[in-house]
């Protein structure tokens, strides 16, 4: 017989000794799946079979093994009512459980570099280190012998190349005064950087699979785990994102009208689409909620690519709010007014339908907007300003409250893309997976910036945060070269132009006995003050004459 007791009652029983005489098992049942932590007490003894627990519902288990197709209800089988009060949805209240992972990280007071290394996790860095050394051995026949300090320095140089750009990669190590970057050139030699970049890898090529993103799959797998340390807000937005790529690859897509038209399409915090039977868009939203372990009570906003009435039904069953615009080709058998007739109505007109706990709203602005949501208890409107071309003044227009709420909370993915592209890595490679790796590094940098600002209370902007991370990585893990290479041809030509101008060239005694004459290559202590060239007094006139 199971009896539910509070923690204080259990402690009182043990202290007073008035508990049952027989041995008993005490199980602590968490209120939320994210609060459940596997302890030593949960490990079974050897020889005993382990039975699956059913204490709480786990959405992750749904993705393991074959997945049953979800029920799809067609619009013609639904009953719509012209009412402004939908049925009450059984969506639990959004609760923040404390302490969470973010608060535990906050107690250690990490600096920006440590926050970045938390978002770009040690497991991913270990995989990169192992696979890169293995790839160099397999393909080049020699040992790369890359250390973890060199890998972190490599990351720091890439981050620094995002805000300190030059037309060519090797210019970062140039000694020319107009492009010289002392932080990068003192952290790692240029040839060593090229060796690491040529051998960088994340998977073993001898174990290739049918996955087209096999080479970069560990990046997404590990980042999906590390990003869970970020606290989930109550309002979430779901959207697609593009990684810019113009080369040849079977997974490259073209989306007309997007800021990035050619590239790889990704879904935020998502890896593989679950087979739900509801279509690609709804499967993405459900997959995000499952694999991201989003707590119940969170509210999702998404555009018309994802929204369908079947999605809202499933989100209601799982305890999530869902709101999004709907496409015209998904409105069949829904008793709205015809589109042409609705367009004749004045601006701000609306039409409302309900179906169970769902509220469907059609509103006329510059165009017709159709919205579906399961988060509204009753329909309400607010007043917004719209510009009138004929009167050349603002009009007061009625707007549904659900559309105003959608505009306030939608756009988080676009904002993240804007921040990622602001200081994106400019060092390029011919490998097809390099843009994905560069994007993952920038994405981890932006997420660590948000974590440092919102959780840690930091006040610096993204540029300052990026500079602190890059400088910290290069100074802490970099190794300063003992000497620099020869002068570039540009530096020699610039110096030669001043060499023959016959203006203010004076010999000086440097006091250094180990200088070599620029003309005869013998030792001398004299040099030209303007040219900074070591010269004998006998060679001084010959050097400056044409």
Q: Tell me the per-residue pLDDT of 90-118, one tens digit each, with 9 for 90 and over.
A: 788 887 766 567 777 777 778 899 999 98
Q: What is the DSSP letter of 40?
A: G
Task: For residue 276, give the 3-state DSSP assignment.
Answer: coil
pLDDT over 70 at 317, yes or no: yes
Instruction: State the pLDDT at residue 489.
Output: 54
d(CA 544, CA 531): 10
pLDDT at res. 245: 82
Q: Is the peptide bond before 510 cis (omega within 30 degrees of 0)?
A: no
- State the DSSP code for 81: B
Q: For residue 101, give the nearest of 113, 114, 124, 118 by alpha carbon.
A: 118
Of 466, 416, 99, the residue nearest 240 (C-alpha): 416
How, if at all, do strands 235-238 and 299-302 pair? Answer: parallel
Q: Which residue from 227, 274, 19, 16 is spatially nearest to 119, judged by alpha carbons? A: 227
**Per-residue pLDDT, 490:** 54
Question: Which has the minimum average pLDDT: 54-58, 186-190, 461-465, 527-531?
Answer: 54-58
CA 254 – CA 250 distance, rounded (Å): 12
Q: Give the per-residue pLDDT at 270.
A: 36
pLDDT of amino acid 60: 35
Q: Provide the H-helix boundaries in 318-461.
A: 339-343, 401-409, 412-422, 434-454
- Taking CA atoms, 219 is separated from 27, 280, 340, 363, 511, in Å, by 37, 23, 49, 43, 56
Q: What is the pLDDT of residue 132?
A: 94
Region of residue 181 (left: phi > 0; alpha: psi -120 to 50; beta: else)? beta
Pairing between β-strand 523-524 and β-strand 350-355 as defined by DSSP bridges = unpaired
Is the pLDDT score of 309 beyond 70?
yes
When pLDDT is cut at 50, 70 and 90, the band that residue 372 belongs to is: very high
Distance CA 173, CA 147 (A): 21
Q: Tokens 């709010």 belong to which residue? A: 321
Position 55 scores a pLDDT of 31
Residue 31 — very low, low, confident or very high, per pLDDT cuts 50/70/90?
A: very low
In the 8-state DSSP scheme, what is residue 50? P
Closest listed residue to residue 306, CA positions, set 328, 291, 325: 325
From residue 544, give the alpha-carbon distance in Å to each of 291, 505, 538.
72, 9, 12
pLDDT given at position 273: 54
Q: Say what the alpha-carbon torsion angle 168, 263, 446, 184 is, to the nearest 10 degrees.
A: -20
| Whole-number Cα distances in Å, 231 to 51, 97, 103, 137, 220 | 32, 10, 9, 41, 19
Q: With 50 as the cut, is the pLDDT of residue 47 above it?
A: no
Name the range with the highest mean pLDDT among 65-69, 186-190, 417-421. 186-190
E strand segments, 185-327? 235-238, 240-244, 253-254, 262-267, 299-302, 321-325
Q: What is the C-alpha R_g of the chain? A: 32
**pLDDT beyond 60 at 84:** yes
39-53, 313-327, 354-368, 447-461: least confidently modelled range:
39-53
How confident is the model at residue 113, as a pLDDT?
A: 92
484 pLDDT higher than 70 = no
**Sole residue written with tokens 């140089």:** 157
Q: Contact, 262 vs 56, CB < 8 A?
A: no
pLDDT at 541 over 70: yes
Q: Is the pLDDT of residue 318 over 70?
A: yes
**Neighbour tally for 15: CB within 10 Å:** 9
User: Is pLDDT of 446 > 90?
Assistant: yes
Q: How far apart are CA 442 and CA 466, in angstroms?
A: 10
Q: Is 426 helix (H, G, I), strand (E, B) or coil?
A: coil
- Candidate ranges 45-49, 103-107, 131-135, 335-339; pick with highest mean pLDDT: 131-135
User: Residue 199's pLDDT is what?
Assistant: 93
Burial class (CB in 10 A: 0-12, 13-18, 19+), 121: middle
SS3 content of the chain, % helix, strand, coil (to 5): 40, 15, 45
Give yes or no for a contact between 474 and 153, defined as CB atoms under 8 angstroms apart.
yes
* Strands 368-373 and 321-325, bridge-based pairing: antiparallel
Contact assessment for residue 151 and residue 131, using Cβ atoms and an 8 Å cutoff = no
Averaged pLDDT for residues 27-56:
38
Q: Tens of pLDDT along 199-235? A: 999 999 999 888 888 999 999 889 888 888 888 888 8
**Cα–Cα distance list, 208 to 135, 213, 371, 391 (Å):** 13, 10, 44, 65
CB-CB contact of 300 with 315 (8 Å): yes
d(CA 63, CA 281): 17
Which residues, at least 6 apart from 307, have a Cβ–Cβ distance to it below 8 Å?
Answer: 281, 322, 324, 325, 326, 327, 330, 372
């Amino acid at each position: 017989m199971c009896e539910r007791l509070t923690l204080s009652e259990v402690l009182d029983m043990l202290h007073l000794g008035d508990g049952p005489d027989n041995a008993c098992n005490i199980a602590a049942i968490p209120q939320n799946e994210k609060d459940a932590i596997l302890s030593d007490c949960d490990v079974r003894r050897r020889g005993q079979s382990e039975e699956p627990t059913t204490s709480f519902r786990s959405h992750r288990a749904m993705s393991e093994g074959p997945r049953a197709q979800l029920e799809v209800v067609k619009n013609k089988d639904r009953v719509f009512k012209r009412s402004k009060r939908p049925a009450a949805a059984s969506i639990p209240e959004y609760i923040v459980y404390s302490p969470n992972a973010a608060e535990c990280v906050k107690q250690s007071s990490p600096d920006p570099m440590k926050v970045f290394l938390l978002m770009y996790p040690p497991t991913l860095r270990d995989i990169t280190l192992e696979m890169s050394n293995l790839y160099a051995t397999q393909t080049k026949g020699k040992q790369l012998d890359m250390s973890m300090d060199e890998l972190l320095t490599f990351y720091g140089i890439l981050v620094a190349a995002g805000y300190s750009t030059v037309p060519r990669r090797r210019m970062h190590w140039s000694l020319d005064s107009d492009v010289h970057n002392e932080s990068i050139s003192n952290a790692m030699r240029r040839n060593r950087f090229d060796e690491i970049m040529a051998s960088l890898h994340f998977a073993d090529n001898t174990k290739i699979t049918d996955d087209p993103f096999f080479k970069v799959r560990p990046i997404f797998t590990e980042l999906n785990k590390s990003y869970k340390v970020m606290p989930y807000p109550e309002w979430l937005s779901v959207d697609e994102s593009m990684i810019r790529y113009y080369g040849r690859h079977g997974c490259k897509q073209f989306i007309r009208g997007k800021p990035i038209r050619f590239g790889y399409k990704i879904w935020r915090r998502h890896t593989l689409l679950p087979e739900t039977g509801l279509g690609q868009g709804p499967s993405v939203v459900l997959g995000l909620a499952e694999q991201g372990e989003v707590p119940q009570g969170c509210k999702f906003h998404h555009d018309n690519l994802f929204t369908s009435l079947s999605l809202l039904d499933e989100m209601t069953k799982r305890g999530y709010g869902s709101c999004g615009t709907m496409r015209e080709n998904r409105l069949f058998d829904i008793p709205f007014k015809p589109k042409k007739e609705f367009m004749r109505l004045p601006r701000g007109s609306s039409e409302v339908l309900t179906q169970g706990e769902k509220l469907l709203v059609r509103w006329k602005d510059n165009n017709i907007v159709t919205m579906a949501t399961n988060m509204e208890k009753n329909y309400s409107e607010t007043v917004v300003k719209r510009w009138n071309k004929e009167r050349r003044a603002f009009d007061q227009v009625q707007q549904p409250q659900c559309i105003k709420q959608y505009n306030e909370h939608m756009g988080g993915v676009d904002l993240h893309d804007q921040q990622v592209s602001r200081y994106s890595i400019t060092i390029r490679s011919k490998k097809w997976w390099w843009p994905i790796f560069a994007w993952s590094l920038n994405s981890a940098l932006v997420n660590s910036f948000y974590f440092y600002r919102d959780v840690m209370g930091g006040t610096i902007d993204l540029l300052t945060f990026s500079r602190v991370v890059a400088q910290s990585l290069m100074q802490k893990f970099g190794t300063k070269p003992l000497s620099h290479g020869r002068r570039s041809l540009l530096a020699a030509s610039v110096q030669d132009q001043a060499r023959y101008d016959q203006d203010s060239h004076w010999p000086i005694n440097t006091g250094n006995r180990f200088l070599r004459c620029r003309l005869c290559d013998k030792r001398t202590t004299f040099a030209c003050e303007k040219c900074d060239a070591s010269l004998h007094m006998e060679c001084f006139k010959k050097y400056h004459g044409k």
